[in-house]
Amino acid sequence: MRFGASVEAIAREDDRWGLRTASGPVHADAIVLALDPATARRLLEPVARDVSADLAQIPAVSVGVVLLVYSEGSAERLPTGAGFVVPRGEAPMVACGLVSAAWPDPAFGSRAVVRCTVGGAGQEDVLEADDQDIVRACTKHLAALLPLPEEAHASAVIRWPGAVPRYLLGHLERVSRIRQHLPPGIFLSGQAYDGIDVAGCVRGATEAVGAARNYVDATRKERTA
């Protein structure tokens, strides 16, 4: 296991794959790339140019999460439910999760805990604002919708650049072509290909690992035959 060892390049070395990493070279029988399309495209360019055009057609947008913790006694002000989504342009956030109402935890005490999602397609410029401005905009709009104070007791803004893939028309066919043109021993997995939800990521990862294992087993049998 090598943690924090970013891969800088991939190359074919005899009958195996060689990876140049920040902590030294690694040799492998198979590689599973659990990467965003842009990074995967860069690494695969020298060994699988046929997939470059299709990977370029899987764009991604940036989003941010605004965590808000209100003062004691505010939890009872939240309505029952998991949250709501917001029509584009109607508020600085695109969705709001009522964390303490939907997933109560003793650590919250009597505080209302809310999670707002900002940014996304067509609204990524929101993420360029200062944290304080983003928090202020979210709390102001929430106070107009819910019986909450206009200011939160504590807050945090977490930005996720290029984190959310967008599935354009023909996505399934595009991903199928990419996988068909990958060199033997290289496999692809991640939310950009198999689904953004947890179930989709787990399913895609399970299939990729299974395919890699079968490939390695078959390769080793050929070597010992």
Rounded distance, CA 120 to CA 165, Å? 10
The angle formed by the CA atoms of residues 48, 43 and 171, to the nearest 5 degrees, is 65
Topology of the domain comprising 60-165: Polyamine Oxidase; Chain A, domain 2 (3.90.660)
Across the range 2-29, mean pLDDT stands at 91
Contacts 24+ apart (CB under 8 A), 174-180: 174/54, 174/57, 174/58, 175/54, 177/51, 177/54, 178/51, 178/54, 178/55
Q: Same fold for the domain at 30-58+167-224 and the one at 60-165?
A: no
| Segment 50-77, tens digit of pLDDT | 999 999 999 999 999 999 999 999 999 9
Q: Which of 167, 180, 165, 179 is nearest to 37 (CA)?
A: 165
pTM score > 0.85 for this model?
no
- Cα separations in angstroms, 137 against 90, 98, 152, 160, 167: 12, 17, 11, 19, 30
pLDDT of residue 225: 72
- Provide the pLDDT confidence category of residue 3 given band limits of 50, 70 and 90: confident
Confidence of residue 12 (pLDDT cuts 50, 70, 90): very high
Q: Domain limits of the chain?
A: 30-58+167-224, 60-165
pLDDT score for 103: 94
Tens of pLDDT, residue by residue over 176-193, are 999 999 999 999 999 999
Q: What is the pLDDT of residues 98-113, one digit of tens each?
A: 999 999 999 999 999 9
Identify the CATH assignment for 30-58+167-224 out of 3.40.50.150, 3.30.450.20, 3.40.50.720, 3.50.50.60: 3.50.50.60
Contacts of the segment 94-97: beta carbons below 8 A, 24+ positions apart:
94/118, 94/119, 94/120, 94/123, 96/142
**For residues 100 and 78, is the Cβ–Cβ distance under 8 A?**
yes
- The neighbouring-strand residues paired with 27 are 18
Residue 21: what pLDDT?
93
List Cβ neighbours of 35 (8 Å cut-off, separation of 6 or more): 43, 190
Burial class, 11, CB count within 10 angstroms (exposed 0-12 / middle 13-18 / buried 19+): exposed
Q: What is the mean pLDDT of the chain?
A: 93
